[in-house]
Amino acid sequence: MQIPLDFWSITLWIAVTSIILLITAQLVQAYDGPQMLLIDSRKLRAAALTMGTLFLATVAIHIYTIITTK
């Protein structure tokens, strides 16, 4: 069974993942309770920013292909 993944699907997946990671990073940073979290907030924030950058790069590629094909 093949999963049909095209560039638009990957872009959507990256966008959703980056939004989830960015929200989680902000919630973890604002948490003032006991420090029992097993998540390193710096690494989570770096992963969120990386995914956001990847999403912006895919949007730039889409814009480039739209401009060059017309």
pLDDT (tens digit per residue) in 14-69: 999 999 998 988 888 776 666 666 777 788 889 999 999 999 999 999 999 999 98
What amino acid occupies position 64? Y
Contact in structure between 17 and 51 (CB atoms under 8 Å) = yes
Domain assignments of the chain as residue spans, ordered by start: 40-70
Both tokens assigned to 7: 């560039």
Give residue 64's pLDDT: 94
Instruction: Kindly list the distances between the CA atom of residue 62 and the CA atoms of 19, 22, 55, in Å, as whole numbers in the listed order.
Output: 19, 23, 11
pLDDT of residue 56: 93
